């Protein structure tokens, strides 16, 4: 489905919330660098 609806506020797909949370937990809030060495 390629349609979309303009909403007053952003709404995130519930299936992506856990993945986004895990990604954000890997980034330092002070400097923005990855917390783990790759």
Evaluate whether 32 touches 24 at the Cβ level (below 8 Å).
Answer: no
CA distance 37 to 24: 15
pLDDT band at 38 (very low <50, low <70, confident <90, very high): low
CA distance 22 to 29: 14
* Digit-coded pLDDT (tens) for 16-25: 999 989 989 9
pLDDT band at 28 (very low <50, low <70, confident <90, very high): very high
- For residue 26, count other CB atoms closer than 10 A to its CB: 10
Element (H, E) at 20: helix 14-25
pTM surpassing 0.75?
no
């Amino acid at each position: 489905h390629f349609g979309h609806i303009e909403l007053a506020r952003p709404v995130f797909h519930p299936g992506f919330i856990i993945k986004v949370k895990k990604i954000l937990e890997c980034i330092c809030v002070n400097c923005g660098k990855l917390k783990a060495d790759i």
